Amino acid sequence: MYNLQNIAAQFALNGTPTQIKALGEGFINDTLFICIDGQEKPSYILQRKNHIVFPDVPAMMQNIKMVTEHIKAKVKDPLRETLTVVPTKDGALYYKDEDGNFWAVTLFIGDTMSYTKADTPEMAFQGGLGLGQFHMLVSDFKEPLTEVIKGFHNIRWRFQQWDEVIAKDPVGRVKDLQEEISWIESRRVQMLDFWSKFENGIIPTRVTHNDTKISNFLFNAADGTLLCAIDLDTLMSSTMLNDTGDALRSYTNTGEEDEKDLDKVSMNIDMFTAYMKGYLSMMGKELTESEIENLAFSGIYITYEQVLRFLMDYIDGDNYYKIKYPDHNLVRTKAQYKLLRSMEEQLPEMNEIVRKLV
Ligand code: ADP
Ligand code: GN1
Ligand code: MG
C-alpha cells in the first residue's frame, strides 16, 4: 500500500534498510520496524502518524523532541531510557509523503519486552516505578507544549462530542443502546465535579503522558525491570491523574481490555497496591494533597472516560479506533464498564491503601 523503502530512504538512517515490517497493536498509528543490512535485530521504528487523530503532527513531533531531549540530559543511558527521534536527511522531525501521510522514525530499543496485560504484582510495581520516574524526569520541564488533541482527557469536552454524536446517531445504533447510554449519563455530574477541581486549579497542571497503558512502556528483557515510557504522541500539560488513571485501568485489569467473557474482568486490588507502591516511592513527596486524595479515583475517571470513548465511537460508526470485528467497540465498552463497576466497589479500600502508603 505504501512505498516503504522510499519512505525509509527519506530518513538519516545508518545503513541500508533490508526488511520493513508491521509491528505492534496500537489502535491509532501504523507501527513498523526497520532492519538494517548486516544487523540481526531491528534498528528503527517507523510510524505512520494518524493525522486525522493528530491534526498537527509537526507540533506533536516538536513536543516529543523537546521532552525527550530534556530527559536525555538527565539519564545514564540516553539512547535507551527514552525515545530518540531520527530526523529526515533534511533535518526535519517527520516526512510528509505525496498522499499527505506523516511518517516519523525513532531508534528501536532492543532487548526489551512490551505487554498488553500485567500478569504479576511485580510487573505492576515496575509499571508504577516507571511512571513515577517519567513524572520526576519531566517535573522541571518548563517549555509550553502544544495541545495535540483538543480536550483529550477533558470530560466536559468529551460530553460535548458525546451529545453531538447521540443527537446525530449517524448509523442508527442509539435505539439499541439505552442501557449502555445510561451508564454514562448516571455518572455525568460526578465526573464533571472531578474535572472542575482541575479547571479551578485545585489539582495542579504538570507535563503528562496521557496514554499510559502497559503497552506504552518498555520492560528490560533481562530482568523484567521497567526501562522507559514510549508512545509519546499525547505529551501535553494536564493533570498527572490522567496518567495514574489510565495506568490503573490497564495494569489492574484481570482481563483484556476487550475481553468478551465479563467474568474474567475485575480490578485486582493486589495489582493496585503494587502499582501505587511503585509510583509513590518515586512521586509520593512531590504530590499535592489534592492529587493524593484523587489517586484512587483517577482510575475510575479514566476508565469511565474510556467507556464513553469506546461507546461514542461505536455510536458514531467506528471511525476513531481500529477495530478487528464489527461490534469490537461495543465489546470494549462492556468490558471497560465491568472494570469500572469493580473499581467503584473497591474505591474505599483503594483510598485506604493510598493513605497507608503515603
Ligand atoms: P501506537 O501509537 O500505535 O500505540 P506505539 O508507539 O505504542 O504505537 O508502538 C506500538 C508498539 O511498538 C509498542 O507497544 C512497542 O511494543 C513497540 N515499539 C514502539 N516504539 C518502540 C521502540 N522505540 N523500541 C522498541 N519497540 C517499540
Ligand atoms: C489509544 O494509540 P494507543 O493504542 O496507544 C488511544 C488511548 C486509549 C487507548 C485504548 C491517541 O492508545 O487514548 O486509551 O487507545 N490513543 C489516542 O486502548 O486516542
Ligand atoms: Mg501505543
Q: What average pLDDT does the structure give for the chain?
A: 97
Q: Is 115 inside any structural domain? A: no
Would you say 226 and 249 are in contact if contact means Cβ atoms under 8 Å apart? no
Would you say 281 and 132 are in contact if contact means Cβ atoms under 8 Å apart? yes
All residues with CB under 5 Å from ion ligand 3 = 26, 216, 231
Which residue's CA is minimally distant from atom 15 of ligand 2?
27
Structural domains in the chain (count):
2
Would you say 269 and 342 are in contact if contact means Cβ atoms under 8 Å apart? no
Would you say 199 and 191 are in contact if contact means Cβ atoms under 8 Å apart? no
The Å distance, Cα 113 to ligand 3 centre, comes to: 13
Q: How much is the pTM?
A: 0.97
* Atom of ligand 1 lying closest to residue 233 CA: 2
Coil, helix or strand for 107?
Answer: strand
Residue 322: all three cell numbers together? 481500529
**Helices and strands per DSSP (H, E), number in the chain:** 10, 11
* Atom of ligand 1 lying closest to residue 231 CA: 6
Same domain, 89 and 234: no
Same domain, 104 and 128: no
Residues making up the chain, counted from first to last: 358
pLDDT at 1: 82
76: exposed, middle or buried (Cβ count in 10 Å: 0-12, 13-18, 19+): exposed
pLDDT at 26: 75
The residue range of the domain holding 20 is: 4-110
**C-beta of 114 in contact with ligand 1 (< 6 A):** yes
Q: How far apart are CA 312 and CA 186, in angstroms?
A: 16
* Atom of ligand 2 lying closest to residue 302 CA: 14
| pLDDT band at residue 23 under the 50/70/90 scheme | confident
The Å distance, Cα 211 to ligand 2 centre, comes to: 6
Q: What is the pLDDT of residues 70-92, one digit of tens each?
A: 999 999 999 999 999 999 999 99
Would you say 341 and 255 are in contact if contact means Cβ atoms under 8 Å apart? no
Which residue's CA is minimally distant from atom 13 of ligand 2?
211
Strand partners, 296: none
Q: What is the pLDDT of residues 97-142, one digit of tens each?
A: 999 999 999 999 999 999 999 999 999 999 999 999 999 999 999 9
Q: Is 328 inside any structural domain? A: yes
Residue 133: all three cell numbers together? 520516574
Same domain, 49 and 172: no
Which residue's CA is minimally distant from atom 11 of ligand 1?
24
Would you say 124 and 133 are in contact if contact means Cβ atoms under 8 Å apart? no
Would you say 151 and 157 are in contact if contact means Cβ atoms under 8 Å apart? yes
Same domain, 50 and 142: no
Supply the DSSP symbol for 194. H
Which CATH number characterizes residue 191's domain? 3.90.1200.10
Helix or strand run (H / E) with residue 310: helix 289-315
The Å distance, Cα 200 to ligand 3 centre, comes to: 31
Last residue of a domain, one of 55, 75, 110: 110
The Å distance, Cα 73 to ligand 2 centre, comes to: 28
Q: Which residues contact 339 (CB under 8 A, 6 or more apart)?
A: 249, 253, 255, 265, 266, 267, 303
Which CATH number characterizes residue 15's domain? 3.30.200.20
Same domain, 178 and 78: no
Alpha helices in 55-153 (DSSP H): 57-72, 121-138
Would you say 280 and 357 are in contact if contact means Cβ atoms under 8 Å apart? yes
Q: How far apart are CA 156 and CA 176, in angstroms?
A: 25
**C-beta of 24 in contact with ligand 2 (< 6 A):** no
Tell me which of 24 and 109 has the higher pLDDT. Answer: 109
**C-beta of 334 in contact with ligand 2 (< 6 A):** no
Q: Which ligand is nearest to the CA of 30?
A: 1
Q: Is 169 inside any structural domain? A: yes
Q: Which ligand is nearest to the CA of 108?
A: 1
